[in-house]
Amino acid sequence: MSEEIKELVQILKDSKNIVFFGGAGVSTESNIPDFRSSNGLWNEKLKMQCTPEQLVSHTFYMRYPEEFFEFYKSKLIYPDAKPNNAHIALAKLEEMGKLSAVVTQNIDGLHQVAGSKVVYELHGSVLRNYCEKCGEFYDEKFVLASEGVPTCPKCGGRVKPDVVLYEEGLDQDIIEGAVNAISKADTLIIGGTSLVVYPAAGLINYFRGNKLVLINKSATSADRQADLVIHDAIGKVLKEALDMMGN
């Protein structure tokens, strides 16, 4: 057991109000790739150069709905994905009364599948979809099964994923909930994120607690501020720590 894991275990034991802030690195261990790993198929098809960010922008959604949904269904929905060690460990920490909230940039819903109850999804969820006309709810299975652009069987309106696209603002209630949780935490664990996506990454500036822990495979802009930095896979680290605590 490394000294870093021992230090993390001690922090977890001493903490009474932990908040976890996570990004794409949490889900890659469930074989969900970062969407930036887009190939050039859509560039070729549209006869234009598109970054992955442009492919999931509000403008692209409005202008090229067929291509948007083709990319969205194949690159952003992973129906067979299962919670990994990170999701499971965080749900256990909540069950133990240690962790009060998960703030995530991910849209896969795996934290809730693992059992986490308080989850602030900054960028929405692929599991929720709503008709733009009548507001009827549809799950991700409906979207995946639809031909081309999904439309509401009740009114014919377009069904839009409850995902925050580029150029769209974050949900104010979700932001306020996340800020409130982070500002009250005695320990903030940041995991699986390079902290480059704003405004989400800026939320960590509201932390006023005792211990800032950063677990990420690569270095981030917040490494210098952290009390403990572990450059390793988030699922592996959290599982080791929970195992050491006897959970």
Residue pair 31/78 in contact (Cβ under 8 Å)? The answer is yes
Q: Is the pLDDT of residue 1 over 70?
A: no
Within the chain, all domains assigned CATH 3.40.50.1220 are found at 3-32+83-123+168-244
Cis amide bond preceding 83, omega within 30:
no
Residue 78: HSE in the Cβ half-sphere, 13 Å Cα cutoff: 19
Q: Is the pLDDT of residue 41 over 50?
A: no
The pLDDT of residue 46: 52
> Catalytic: which of 58, 87, 123, 231?
123
Question: Would you say how long the chain is, in residues?
Answer: 247
The pLDDT of residue 196: 76
Our answer to whether residue 87 is catalytic in this structure is no
Helix count and strand count (H, E) for the chain: 11, 9
Residue 96: HSE in the Cβ half-sphere, 13 Å Cα cutoff: 19
Torsion sign across C-alpha atoms 199, 78, 54, 69: negative
Q: Is the pLDDT of residue 42 over 60?
A: no
CB atoms within 10 A of CB 95: 13
The pLDDT of residue 39: 42
Q: What is the H or E stretch that residue 11 is in?
A: helix 3-14
Interval 169-197: pLDDT, tens: 999 999 999 999 999 999 999 999 888 77
Mean pLDDT computed over 89-106: 97
Q: How far is CA 86 from CA 22, 50, 90, 98, 107, in A?
A: 10, 32, 6, 15, 16
The predicted model scores a pTM of 0.91
Q: Which homologous superfamily is 3-32+83-123+168-244 in? A: TPP-binding domain (3.40.50.1220)
Residue 157: HSE in the Cβ half-sphere, 13 Å Cα cutoff: 15
Q: Measure the N-to-C terminal CA separation of the chain; round to a whole number of Å.
A: 16
